[in-house]
Chains A and B, each alone.
Chain A
Amino acid sequence: MIEVKDLHKAFGAVKAVDGVSFTARDGEITGLLGPNGAGKTTTLRMLYTLMTPDRGQVLVDGVDAAVDALAVRRHLGVLPDARGLYKRLTARENIDYFARLQGLPEDELRNRREALVEALDMGEIADRRTEGFSQGQRVKTAIARALIHDPHNVILDEPTNGLDVMATRALRQFMLRLKAEGRCVLFSSHIMQEVAALCDRIVVIAHGRVVADETPDALREQTGEGNLEEAFVKLIGTDEGLAA
């Protein structure tokens, strides 16, 4: 479970995140929806301790990120906005590197890795160097790398960005599978259909603030719009930076 309480982060005079609070529960998919530049990536970066909040608290499975950042990172699987792979290493070697940094024993590493290669359908590319991988192959490798230590909480920053239809469908199936395994899945997106189709709970962010935190149905009721797209536009105040 991930709990976020009153997060603030400013870069100079720009308040990127200005009082964000929400909870992402186990066995649920929580969507962080907002236009580009709303503060989604900065919020997530504070969750996986890449950035320190100016104010507020992050709890992952009850561990305070400000107190024990390493423990928090151990409880998290992260697909950051930056997907950078090591292009002179094969997909398997990329995964192994992170597995060893996570401290996985070698036999456990092998089992986990092969299970992920199977689950993400990457058997054919696993022993190829990642230079020249397609966007979809890159995301798959990055996800396998992020989940190698079997984390209970999974954070995905715009996971379907740049993927084609088939790859997007496959990734959505994979996220539902993570949910079914009882994990806490938190992902950000600016694509409304995606959020509507997957999420048990939607946190809408605009201008660094949470403007709604509801189930999709409740969101429709709250705004009085039958259509989610209209509901979002009403909440955010503009349709700029959103995609259907």
Chain B
Amino acid sequence: MNKMDTHPLRRSRAFATVFLKEVRENLRDRRTLISAFLTGPLLTPLLFVMLISFTVNRELDKADQPLKVPVIGAQYAPNLLGALKAGGVVPQPALASPEQAVRNQDVDLVLRIAPDYAKAWRKGEPVQVELIYDSSQRDANTSVERVTKLVEGYARQQGAMRLVARGLSPSVAMPVVVAKRDQATAQSRAVLMFNMLPYLFVLTIFIGGMYLAIDLTAGERERQSLEPLFANPVPRWKIFLGKLAAICAFSTASLLICLVAFAVIGRFMPTEKLGMEVNLGPSFALHVLLLQLPLIVLLGGLQSMVAAFAKSYREAQTYLSLLMMLPILPSVALMVMPIKPQDWMYAVPLLGQHLGILDLVRGNGIGAMPLALCLAGSSLVALAVALVTMQLYRSERLAISG
């Protein structure tokens, strides 16, 4: 075989050569490894699960556990107290100054029964019980609501008995009854809590590729190895594609670890106790991966572009930390102004992934049309970003470190 024949074949290895070298080199960097495969993908699911478990358990604790409430004047209303006890309230001895105790947050609430309770009751006049609480204490609100409901329930029951005693139907006193028909499914309730999930995935991708993106452009220039690299007979766009592929490989691996972690930890989340149903299993993971693939390329390209502008490693790090704020925008926007998703929104990168992942969490799956729009829209933008960065790679200044 003569030398000319081997050339086309030789050149085609450039992409793989750059890719493999960058992957190998970065697998030897402890900081990159830890951020891409440990803290990045695992911290978010852990935090998320802890947050949700904490919220859920706190709500549940309040509902099931005996509620200790100091009662003043318990001796005047033994029947009311009996009803409260049946509802899980444990009456506590009276306090000397209940208002002070509530303000000091010593107790959540105090129930005060007036001394003339029994007298008024016997006359059939309305009687008053006082609930002393502080509504700025969010913790206390569930307890206040619970005791209020118990008292109201007791009052309704007694009222009905009085009507019956006078030969009237209890329905006379209830001309209108509200019947609540909640259309939320167990899964759609979960969406409220899982609103931040799409952002966590994007963040994982971002962190997974960040150190590589910096290292492969700004870092390589700072270490002055870009100039000798460009002296090789390989077009710069091939070198860029090899580097981009390495960044994407790391961020994809990061996302995969994150998804596996969610699938595993998701099993231990007590969501069903709140009447929610969340499936973070393999099907969910695969769909998320599919949705995020174009975004992985887009973010990798964007990170490379920003890092190529920077003069040094540190500068690139600063720019990229700012860029990290970008993917939070759709999540925040949707939280502040809840809008009905339109088809075109799926074509917007980040927003499309956000809506798509929420569709998946909601359990109805993502439609073919939104899916196609999401993939096509993000892919187009990813391509544009890659082309612009490629253009940037051709500039003379990029290679020169001094």
A15 within 8 A of B: no
Q: Which of B21-29, B161-169, B343-351 contacts A (4 or more CB under 8 A)?
A: B21-29
Instruction: Return the contact of A84 from the options B6, B14, B228 (Cβ within 8 A).
Output: B228
Partner of B13, one of A49, A80, A89, A103: A103
A78 at the binding interface (Cβ < 8 Å): yes
B232 at the interface (CB under 8 A from A): yes
Please tell me which one of the listed residues A49, A82, A105 contacts residue B6 in the complex, with CB atoms under 8 A apart: A105
Task: Please state if B14 and A101 are interface contacts (CB–CB under 8 Å).
Answer: yes
- Complex: A59 Cα to B234 Cα, angstroms: 19
CB of A146 closer than 8 Å to a CB of B: yes
Per-residue B-contact encoding for A177-200, CB less than 8 Å = 1, 0 else: 000000000000000000000000
**Stretch among A68-76, A120-128, A231-239 lining the B interface:** A68-76
- B-side interface residues, number (CB < 8 Å): 33
Which residues of the other chain, B, contact A146 by a CB distance below 8 angstroms?
228, 231
A73 to B228, CA, bound (A): 11
Neighbouring A residues of B182 by C-beta, 8 Å: none
Q: Which residues of B contact A145 (CB under 8 A)?
A: 228
Nearest residue (CB) in A for B220 is A84
B340 contacts chain A at the CB level, 8 A cutoff? no
Within 8 A of B (CB), among A16-67: 45, 48-52
* C-alpha gap A48/B232 in the complex (Å): 9
Residues in A with CB closer than 8 Å to B399 are 50
The residue of chain B having its C-beta at the shortest distance from the C-beta of A9 within the complex is B396
User: How many chain A residues have a CB neighbour from B under 8 Å?
Assistant: 35
**Residues of B9-53 whose CB lies within 8 A of A:** 10-11, 13-14, 17-18, 21, 24-26, 28-29
Asked if B227 CB lies within 8 Å of chain A CBs, one says yes
User: Which residue from A71, A74, A83 sits with its C-beta under 8 Å from B224?
Assistant: A83
Contact partners of A49 in chain B: CB under 8 A = 231
User: Chain A nearest CB: distance from B288 CB in Å?
Assistant: 32
Report chain A residues within 8 Å CB of B224: 82-84
Contact (A88, B233) CB under 8 Å given A100-B13, A145-B228: no
Residues of B close to A78: CB separation below 8 A: 228, 231
A86→B25 contact, CB < 8 A: yes
B231→A85 contact, CB < 8 A:
no
A101 contact set on B, CB distance < 8 A: 14, 17-18, 229, 232-234
The 8 A CB mask of A76-104 against B (1 = contact, 0 = none) is: 10111111111111000100011011111
A169–B126 CA distance with the chains assembled, in angstroms: 110
B122 within 8 A of A: no
What is the chain A residue whose CB lies nearest that of B21?
A: A97
A102 & B232 in contact (Cβ 8 Å cutoff):
yes
Q: Does B230 contact A (CB under 8 A)?
A: yes
Q: Interface 1/0s, chain B 332-364, versus A by CB < 8 A?
A: 000000000000000000000000000000000
Chain A, range 97-115, C-beta contacts under 8 Å to B: 97-98, 100-105
Q: Which of B6, B29, B227 contacts A50 (CB 8 A)?
A: B227
Nearest-neighbor residue (CB-CB) of A100 within chain B: B17
A171 on interface, CB distance cutoff 8 Å: no
Asked whether A84 and B223 contact (CB < 8 A) given A50-B396, A101-B17, A103-B13, the answer is yes
Query: B381-402 vs A: 1/0 string, CB under 8 Å?
Result: 0000000000000001001111
Q: Are B235 and A70 in contact (CB under 8 A)?
A: yes
- In the complex, A203 has a CB within 8 A of chain B: no
Q: A50-B227, A83-B224, A83-B228 are known contacts. Are A71 and B17 too (CB-CB below 8 A)?
A: no
In this complex, what residue of B is CB-closest to A101? B232
Whether a CB of chain A sits under 8 angstroms from the CB of B181 is no
Contacts of A83 in B (CB 8 A): 224, 228
A71 to B36 Cα, complex, angstroms: 39
A89 touches B225 (CB 8 A): no
User: Is A142 an interface residue, CB under 8 A from the partner?
Assistant: yes
The verdict on B180 contacting chain A, using a C-beta distance below 8 Å, is no
Q: Which residues of B contact A74 (CB under 8 A)?
A: 233
Complex: A71 Cα to B18 Cα, angstroms: 20
Residue B101 at the chain A interface, CB threshold 8 Å: no
- Judge whether B28 and A76 touch: CB under 8 Å: no
Contact residues of B between 226 and 246, Cβ < 8 Å to A = 226-235
> What's the Cα separation between A85 and B235 when bound, in Å?
20
Contact of A81 among B226, B227, B233 (CB under 8 A): B227
Closest to B29 in A: A88
Q: What 0/1 pattern do residues 121 to 145 of A give for CB contact below 8 A with B?
A: 0000000000000000000001001
Residue in A70, A80, A87, A89 whose CB lies within 8 Å of B228: A80
Question: Considering only CB atoms, which chain B residue lies closest to A76 in the complex?
Answer: B231
Contact B11 A103 (CB under 8 A): yes
Chain B 123-153 near chain A by CB (<8 Å), digits 1 or 0: 0000000000000000000000000000000
Q: How far is the CA of A114 from the CA of B6 in the complex (A)?
A: 22
B273: interface (CB < 8 Å) = no
Residues of A within 8 A of B402 (CB): 81-82
**Closest chain A residue to B242, Cβ basis:** A101
Query: In whole angstroms, what is the CA distance A71 to B13 when docked?
Result: 17
Q: Knowing A82-B402, A97-B17, A97-B21 touch, does A103 contact B10 (C-beta < 8 A)? A: yes
**Which of A49, A71, A81 counts the most B-chain CB atoms under 10 A from its CB?**
A81
Query: Footprint of B on A, CB under 8 Å?
Result: 45, 48-52, 70-71, 73-74, 76, 78-89, 93, 97-98, 100-105, 142, 145-146
Instruction: Across the A-B interface, give the 4 residue pairs with the lowest CB-CB distance, nearest first.
Output: A103-B10, A84-B225, A82-B224, A84-B224
Task: Known pairs A50-B227, A50-B231; list 7 more (Cβ under 8 Å).
Answer: A52-B396, A80-B228, A82-B400, A86-B21, A88-B29, A101-B232, A103-B6
Chosen A-B contacts, 22 in total, with CB atoms closer than 8 Å, are: A50-B227, A51-B396, A70-B234, A73-B232, A73-B233, A76-B231, A81-B227, A82-B228, A82-B401, A84-B228, A85-B225, A86-B21, A86-B25, A88-B26, A88-B28, A98-B228, A100-B13, A101-B14, A101-B17, A103-B14, A103-B233, A146-B228
